Structure 1
Amino acid sequence: MTNMMFSWFFKPLRAIFIALLTIMAIQTPANAQELDVDRIAMARQYVDLTDGAQLFETTLIRTGIETMRTLVSQNPTEADAVSDAIGVVIEAYSTRKDELFNQFARVYALRFSMEELREIVAFYETEVGRKLSASNSIINTELSTVMQIYQANLNIEFFAQVRAELRANGIEM
């Protein structure tokens, strides 16, 4: 019964999902082209210039904290040993930043021409570009908060509007 109640909702979502998969499949062959090494290097320069939040290091630390919480909750008497093991693993991973950032660079190199990448890098090398890069982490957090508030309000308002529309059509829910 519950499945039938929501099938009207999931049918359009399934169609959207299939359309997105199709678009991604169509774009993949064009993106699979071999990229120029210089273009990847320029994109990597952009990635390095915009890493004000130290994404890789922050991710490692967050992962370490989550691992610590999980393992210590299972065996609180081993907190020191867990902490030491996490330190060893973080140290081992700390040398792998290039793996991630090189993949980021490839994504940008696929989307931007060499000239565009040069312009982007030139901007981020300016005082305003450095300020933007340094502020992005805080700005993104603030934007996320604004979006969460907007989404919460939208959920309430949208639901009320749909019910009002149904009521106008003689359907009470």
Structure 2
Amino acid sequence: MAFWTDGNMMRGAKAVMGAVLAAGLIAMAAPAFAQEVAPEQLALARKYIDLTDRGAVFETTVVEVGIDTMRQIVTQNPEIIDQTNETIGDVIKEYNGRKGELLDQFARVYAMRFTLDELREIVGFYESPTGQKLAAANSEVNADIRRVLQVYTNNLRTEFFAKVRSGLRAKGVEI
């Protein structure tokens, strides 16, 4: 098992696993864009997207890309911070009217995964008071879930390592 002790090989394995995962995700998404869907199905999927887009995913993504671009340029050229900031603001404005393009792509993914009747049920739920409450609470709930998962993961790492160490000790290996 020398494979696991060599850091370079482990990094290589992670890179290969990442590439395989990315290829799998691309392969899963490809059929969603290759097939046609009924306009009514696409419209219902888009309605679902509109009902649940409480996190303003498009706007958030554009601003995050703007911040990343600012960091990249200003780190190497701190003397042009003002011009960069102004230009990034101008570019963000160019994207203001393009939200529909991304949301239409999201809708196509849902339209490919759900039947017309299922989409009707989904939209009906999200139009109900409970569905609206769920949509409004999703980003806060997801943040809470990420925090719970982080605590769990930290505890799991410690416990897992201790169990492996104990198992190695039982085999006469001290680390």
Instruction: Output the TM-score relative to the length of structure 2.
Output: 0.80
Instruction: Name the counterpart of 1:35.
Output: 37
Q: Which runs of 5+ in 2 are unaligned?
A: none
Instruction: Name the counterpart of 1:90.
Output: 92
Distance in 2 (CA, whole Å) between partners of 1:38 and 1:26 is: 23
**Contact 2:32-2:112 at 8 Å conserved across structures:** no
Distance in 1 (CA, whole Å) between partners of 2:28 and 2:123 is: 30
Instruction: Name the counterpart of 1:154.
Output: 156
Asked if 1:141 corresponds to 2:143, the answer is: yes
Distance in 2 (CA, whole Å) between partners of 1:144 and 1:106 is: 27
Shift of 1:93: 1.3
Instruction: Name the counterpart of 1:120.
Output: 122
RMSD: 3.3
CA 1:146 to 1:125, structure 2 compared with 1: closer, same or farther past 3 Å? Answer: same
Q: Which runs of 5+ in 1 are unaligned?
A: none
CA 1:83 to 1:159, structure 2 compared with 1: closer, same or farther past 3 Å? Answer: same
Instruction: Name the counterpart of 2:60.
Output: 58
Instruction: Output the TM-score relative to the length of structure 1.
Output: 0.81
Q: Number of residues paired by the alignment?
A: 172
Distance in 2 (CA, whole Å) between partners of 1:20 and 1:83 is: 33
Q: Pick which of 89-98 and 15-24 moved more.
A: 15-24
CA 1:78 to 1:42, structure 2 compared with 1: closer, same or farther past 3 Å? Answer: same
Instruction: Name the counterpart of 1:107.
Output: 109
CA 1:42 to 1:153, structure 2 compared with 1: closer, same or farther past 3 Å? Answer: same
Deviations 1:70-115 (A, max 9, x none): 3233333322211211111101112221221111111111211111
- State percent identity of aligned pairs: 45
CA 1:164 to 1:56, structure 2 compared with 1: closer, same or farther past 3 Å? Answer: same
Secondary structure of 1:52's aligned partner: coil
Distance in 2 (CA, whole Å) between partners of 1:112 and 1:19 is: 24
